[in-house]
Amino acid sequence: MLGSVKVLVTCVPQTGHFSPMAPLVGALVRGGHQVAVATAEAMREPVSRLGATFEPAGHGMEEWFGQLAARTRGAPGNGLPPERINHYFVPRLFAEIAAADMLDDVLAAGRRWMPDLVVFDTQAYVGPLVAALLDCRQAHHTIGALPAADVTQLATDALSPLWRSVGHDVPPHAGLYRGATLTICPPSLDPALPPTGRRLPLRPAPRPRRVPRAQEPPLVYFSLGTMWANPDVVRTVLAGLEDLPVRVVATLGSLELAEIGSVPANAEVHGFVPQQDLLPDVSVVVHHAGSGTMFGALAHGVPQLALPQAADNFVNAELLARSGAGLVLTPSEVSAIAVADAVGRLLEDPSFVVAARTVGQEIDSMPEAEAVVASLAEA
């Protein structure tokens, strides 16, 4: 039996960054390990629900975006093609601004906690630096596919002054791969391997809670997540689904119903629904290509229409389309007619279901968080 270890977790304070890490944090707590999560105040409640200690660190995304906007005369990243979004935001927002803002708080928490292990998400670049300063082991927890090498190189360059300010040279790959890397992306979607260190696959979504129940008409689940919901896109998608022989359950995230206006008769809208409860009965998911929704749907073998909005959405959408488990409409392609056509194809062509179920079987074979905890707890 492995003894208890102390673990310091740090992450970008967004649902899309913490949620992929939550199964591991929960498994560590249930396994009797001592866990603290250092991130901004927005994540206090989800951290506390898991039984981990919350350590406030940094000012959060709104402050970081404000600092980035102050550097420009226009909106940060405005006009960039999708394939350059990460190249712009990752080094500027997450490496330069966020890592510097979080460093003092995360390091102070680490010195109080004295962890055996520091775990961090792909864009929490403060994690490798704190692990180096505390001289302890580290683990990189991915939130989707492995980051592109050229994006990581830009982050490495951006981080160099911060590392030098505390007497260290920034290591290759921004320090991400100096220990274990927990990869949550099924290999068929992302066959890339970490350039160094151990690779520990980790299941990205819970197992289905029950067997599917046949729905007539078919059920379509629509969500743009918690951060990127756009009222124009929501109205367009609902209009596209209105004349299809389907029932629609949609979530609005941070939007208010008044921002959407009238809702079609075949749709019901909610601020939030428990995805795990709904997915067994869903025939198609329409979403923003966030990792949580994408992996959750794939775990249930459900085809998807991806409408990428920002950040890593475009990378995920490309992986999904390449797998054959879904279709993609870029922002300029989204219209009511295009949405209706795409969802109609997903409902009618069985090849999408076959591909989605193939990836779902791959996810089903990936190790649960408890097994990964045992590997991480080893010296």
pLDDT at 274: 86
Q: Calculate helix-pair angle for 126-134, 99-113, nearest 10 degrees.
A: 40
pLDDT at 214: 78
Question: Cβ distance 48 to 54 under 8 Å?
Answer: yes
Please check whether the two domains, 6-202 and 219-364, share a CATH topology.
Answer: yes
> Regarding beta strands 282-287 and 304-306, do their DSSP bridges make them parallel or antiparallel, or are they unpaired?
parallel
Instruction: Name residues whose C-beta falls within 8 Å of residue 329's C-beta, 6 or more positions apart in sequence.
Output: 305, 306, 307, 338, 339, 342
How far is 233 from 47, CA to CA, in rounded Å?
A: 31
Average pLDDT for the chain: 94
pLDDT at 309: 87
Find the mean pLDDT for residues 218-242.
89
pLDDT at 275: 87
- Type of residue at 143: I
DSSP 31: T
Q: What is the pLDDT of residues 157-175, one digit of tens each?
A: 999 999 999 999 999 999 9
Question: Cβ distance 317 to 291 under 8 Å?
Answer: no
- Residue 377's SS3 state is helix
> CA neighbours within 13 Å on the CB side: how many for 151?
22
Kindly report the pTM of this predicted structure. 0.93
Using pLDDT thresholds of 50, 70 and 90, give the confidence band for residue 1: very low
CATH class of 219-364: alpha beta
pLDDT at 273: 84
> What is the token pair recorded at 272?
């939030």
Residues in a beta bridge with 181 = 140, 199
Instruction: Name residues whose C-beta falls within 8 Å of residue 52's C-beta, 6 or more positions apart in sequence.
Output: 9, 25, 28, 29, 35, 36, 37
CATH class of 6-202: alpha beta
Q: What is the pLDDT of residues 258-312, one digit of tens each?
A: 888 889 999 999 888 888 889 999 999 999 999 999 999 999 999 999 999 887 8
How far is 137 from 2, CA to CA, in rounded Å?
A: 16
- Judged against a pLDDT cut of 50, whether residue 190 lies above it is answered with yes
> CA neighbours within 13 Å on the CB side: how many for 85?
14
Find the mean pLDDT for residues 115-141.
98
Question: Which one has a higher pLDDT value, 230 or 341?
Answer: 341
Residue boundaries of the structural domains of the chain: 6-202, 219-364
Neighbouring CB atoms inside 10 A of 25's CB total 26
Find the mean pLDDT for residues 335-343.
98
Phi and psi at 54, nearest 5°, equal: -95, 130
